[in-house]
Amino acid sequence: MKRSVDIETIIQENERRRLEVFAPFNPITGEGSIGQRVSFTISDYPISTQYLPIEMMDEPFVKSLQKAGSVESLIRDVLQLPVTEESCEKVVEEFIRIRKKYDYPFWAAMFAYIKRKGGGSDVLFRLNKPQRKLIHRLEKMRKAGKPIRLILLKARQWGGSTAIQIYMSWLQLVHEVGLNSLIIAHQGTGSDEIKDMFDRMIKLYPVEMLHELGEAYSLNEPKIVGVGKSGNIFRVPQRNCKIKIGTAERPNSCRGGDYNLVHLSEVALWKETDGKKPEDIVRSACSGILLMALTMIIYESTPNGVGNFFHKEYLAAKKGLSQFEAMFVAWFEIEQYELPFADDSEKYDFAAKLLANRYNEEVSTEREEAGTYLWRLWEMGATLEAIHWYVSERTKFKNHGEMASEYPSDDIEAFTFSGRKVFSSEDVELFRAACRTPRWRGEIYGAADEGEKAIEGLRFKKSDDGQLFIWHDVERNDEEEVLDRYLVVVDVCKGHTKNADFADILVIDRLFMMDGEPPVVAAEWHGHIDMDKLAWKATQIAAYYNNALLVIESNTLETNNTKGEAEYILTLIHDVYGKQLYARKQSAEDIRQGLPKKFGFHTNSLTKKVVIYNLKVVIRERLYIEREAACLDEYLTYVEKENNSFEAMEGYHDDRLMTRAIGMQICYHEMELPRIVKRNIDINASLVNRPVSAATIG
C-alpha cells in the first residue's frame, strides 16, 4: 500500500533525529565531543587521528607536534634528542597532560572512575548526551572567563549531579591548585553518596597526575586526608585543595569560607523550618564567593512543586534577572527513554496514527494522552521511538500531572503537579511570530493626575523607565473618525507585594475588523500601583486613544474596598469620562426599579468561565494579534484545577491574560463593528485639547 507523503516525511525526519541522538561519541578520539574541535593527525601516535578542542591548538607543544607530523620527528628534529621508548612515552604523556586540561570528556573517560549501575567493578566516566549538554553550558562560561553560575532543573536518571561533581573535581585536580569546594546535599544519605563518589574517583586516580611532569612522587602517598574532627572536610595534599560535604538537615555543616566551588544538590527538596530556610543556607554557603573566573555555584534539583526557593530562583534565572543561567533537560533528550518498534510496518502505523490525531484533544481513558499532546512532543523534537515509550509509560500514571512530574517535556511541566493547561501550547506558540519590541516606551500625562483636568492636554512623554509600551500609536483624522475602534481593558492588581499580580491596562485596536481581519494589541501599561491611581491612569490612556471604551475589571475593586470606595472611584471616573466607561447590562427589573448602573466588568465564577472559554476559542482560531511575548508565557502557565476553576500556576501571574480574556469577550460579543463617520465638529476647536502622540515626541 502506498504511504502518504506526510508520513514519509515524518519517517525521514525521525531517522534524521535518531542519527543525531545516537551520533558517534568517542571521548578518547574526541569524535562527537563537546565544543568546537579540529582534526589532529600524528602518524605514529597511539591514536593517529584525534579531534581536539580548538583552544588546545594554541599550545606551543601542540603546535610543534603538529608541525613535526610525528612523535619521532618531534624528538629527533625539534627536541634534538635520541628517539627511545622512554622519550616517546614522555611526549605522549606531555600531550595527554595538556589535553586533559582542555578536554573534560577526555579526562573523565581516562581517569575518573564512578560506580557502575547495577553493581560490579567501577567504570570510567563516559558522558551521556544530556551530560554533554550540561558540560557544554559550563565550559562555555569557563572558556569565556566568566564565573560559572547555573540552576539545573533535572529529570530523573541521567546523572546530572554526577557530571557536576566530577566536573568540580576536574577543576580542582587539573586546572588550578588551591581550589576549594563545598557540596551540600539534601540529607545525610545524599552526602554519603557524594563522599563515596569522590572516594571512588580519587582512589583510582593516578597519583602522578596530581603532580607536575617530572616532579617526584610516591605511589604510596595519600591522595585524600581528613581535616579536623567533623568528618566532613577532606583535603587532597598534592593540589592543596579542600572538599567539604554538608547537608541541608545540618545548617552548621553548610557554612562557607574560603571556597571557590559550590554545588547545592536537590535544592527543591530542602525542608523549610524555623531558622533553617533554604535561602538562608544558600546565603551562608555562597556569600564569600567572588564573581570571578574559576568560581562556580550550581543549584541542581529535581522539581518539587512551585513557589519554593528553587522554583523562584529558576524562574528568575530563566527571565535573566539573576547572575545564574537556567537549564532544563527534557525526558526525550535522554537516550534510554525509547521503545523500539517490532518492524517498519508498526513504525509507519504509529506515525500515521500520530499524524491523524494531531488535532484530537479527546482521550478514551485518563491513563492516555491526547493526540494534540503527542504531536506536540513530535514538534518539540522527540523521536517516534521516544513517543512510543511515552505512550507505554503513560499507562502507569492516573493523570498527566503525575507523568509530567516524573518525565517533564519542558520546564513548565516539570513544576506542574496538578491541573492541566487551559491553552494548547501549539496554538499559543503560533502567536509568538507577531510579538515584537514596542516602538515607544513612556507615560501619558494630562493637566492633572485625577479629576476633570486629568484628560485635558494629554501628551505622551518618552521614558526609559516608563511602564506604557506602545506598538501602534493612536491614529486621528480631522475629517473622519472611526467609532468603536479602540478598546481599553484594565485588570486591577491584587495587593502591593513583589509577588502580587501586576495591574494591567491593555489597548486593543479593532480597526481591521471592518474587513474581517483580527484586532491587534496596540499598547499596554504594566506595573504595581494604587487602585485609584490606576483608574485615572487608565482613563488617560483611554482618552488618548480617541476616547476608547474603558472596561475596568471591578471584582478586585469591590472585594478590596468594603466601604464603597470602589463605587466612589468608578463614579468619579464616570463623571469625567461619561458613557465611554463600561457598565454592566441592566435587567428589566433593575431598570424598572430605577437602580443605578454598575460600572466595570465583574469577574465571578460564571463570567470567568465565559471569558476563559471564549479566549480559548480566540487563541485556537487565532482571532487576534498579540505583540507582548510575556502574555504568551502566562497562557502556558494557566491551568484548570480539579474543581474546574481556572488560575495561574503558583509563582506565575495572569494579569495580562485576564485583560485579553475580558477584552476579547467584549470585542467580539458586545461591541459593534468599527465604522467610519464624518466629523461634525469645529476642527479648530478640536485642536485645543488634541493629545500629543508618541510619534510626535522627539
pLDDT digits (tens, 9 = 90+) for 467-503: 999 999 999 888 889 999 999 999 987 655 555 678 9
Report how far residue 519's alpha carbon sits from residue 513's, in angstroms, rounded to the nearest whole number: 6
C-alpha–C-alpha distance, residues 641 and 645, integer Å: 5
- Which of 6-10, 136-140, 290-294 shows the highest mean pLDDT? 136-140
Burial pattern 30-46, b for ≥16 Cβ within 10 A else e, equals beebbbebeebebeebe
**Dist. CA 173–CA 241, nearest whole Å:** 8
- 484 burial type by CB count under 10 A (0-12 exposed, 13-18 middle, 19+ buried): middle
Model pLDDT for residues 4-55, shown as the tens digit of each residue: 458 999 999 999 999 998 899 999 999 999 999 999 999 998 899 999 999 9
> Which pTM does this prediction carry?
0.70
661, 584, 641, 594: which is closest to 420 by C-alpha? 641
Query: Which backbone phi and psi does 556 adopt, to 5 degrees?
Result: -65, -40
pLDDT tens digits, one per residue of 91-117: 999 999 999 999 999 999 999 999 887
Question: What's residue 669's pLDDT?
Answer: 94
According to DSSP, the residues that pair with 482 across neighbouring strands are: 676
Contact between residue 351 and residue 7 where contact means Cβ atoms under 8 Å apart: yes
43-92 pLDDT tens trace: 998 899 999 999 999 999 999 999 999 999 999 999 999 999 999 999 99
Pairing label, strands 480-483, 468-470? unpaired
Average confidence (pLDDT) over 377-392: 96
Query: Are 638 and 420 contacting, i.e. CB atoms less than 8 angstroms apart?
Result: no
Question: What does the buried/exposed string (b/e) look like for 365-398 if buried means 16 or more CB atoms within 10 Å of the residue's CB?
Answer: eeeebbbbbbbbbbeeebbbbbbbbbbeebeebe
Percent above pLDDT 90 for the chain: 59
Find the mean pLDDT for residues 362-387.
92
Of the candidates 348, 356, 354, which has an alpha carbon nearest to the alpha carbon of residue 379? 354
**Mean pLDDT (whole number) for 157-178:** 93
Q: Which string of b and e fits 76-85 if b means at least 16 CB within 10 Å?
A: eeeeeeeeee
Q: What's the confidence (pLDDT) of residue 269?
A: 85
Query: What is the C-alpha separation between 197 and 299, in angstroms, rounded?
Result: 19
Mean model confidence pLDDT for the chain: 87
Three-state DSSP at 297 gives strand
Cell of residue 353, nine digits = 496514527
Q: Is the pLDDT of residue 237 over 80?
A: yes
Residue of 225 and 418 predicted with greater confidence = 225
